[in-house]
Amino acid sequence: MSRDILVLNGPNLNLLGLRQPEIYGSDTLADVQARCEPLADQLNLTTDWRQSNHEGQLIDWIHDARTTTGGIVINAGAYTHTSIAIHDALNAYDGKVVEVHISDIHAREAFRHHSYISDRADEVIIGKGVHGYHLALEWLGAAL
């Protein structure tokens, strides 16, 4: 199985580290990526990091990943709680799926408690801050 991993980030995660540090911390997405890359190397994984604010773009990238990757790490942002379309795209994906949330979605507003991603995900990492991305790569490193 391929050890190429798509790390997919959804809407507003381009603002990570720039706003609401009390919830999401002060690292930017670029900081998180830079810190994860040496770990990915150690685990013999190759990562492709992408972020989009557009549901269709995220779905197109999931479709492209079907033939090129062994796993997807996905923080779908608020689409987690709304998108049957992303759920369906992940169901058409045969590799491993790890869902990451920086904050503890179960300790926040009720509308964040349900995830359309979780029932497809092979592993779910919630509320560990940006360290959740490291944990996701470690899980995939062992699983693939």
Interface contacts to ligand CA2, rule CB under 6 A: 12-13, 15-16, 19-20, 24, 75, 77-78, 80, 101-103, 105, 112
**CB of 16 vs ligand CA2, minimal distance in Å:** 5
Catalytic entry in 24, 79, 116, 133: 24
Reference 104, options 87, 127, 85; nearest CA is 127
**CB of 95 vs ligand CA2, minimal distance in Å:** 21
Catalytic entry in 79, 87, 93, 101: 101
Helix (H) or strand (E) holding 59: helix 55-65
- Residue listed under structure tokens 């592993």: 123
Closer to ligand CA2 at the Cβ: 4 or 122? 122
**CB of 14 vs ligand CA2, minimal distance in Å:** 8
Residue 79 among the catalytic residues = no
Closer to ligand CA2 at the Cβ: 18 or 34? 18
Residue 116 among the catalytic residues = no
* Pair 113, 138: CB distance under 8 Å: no
Report how far residue 96's alpha carbon sits from residue 144's, in angstroms, rounded to the nearest whole number. Answer: 8
Closer to ligand CA2 at the Cβ: 13 or 86? 13
Report how far residue 99's alpha carbon sits from residue 49's, in angstroms, rounded to the nearest whole number. Answer: 14
Neighbours of 83 (CB within 10 A): 21
Q: Return the active site residues.
A: 24, 101
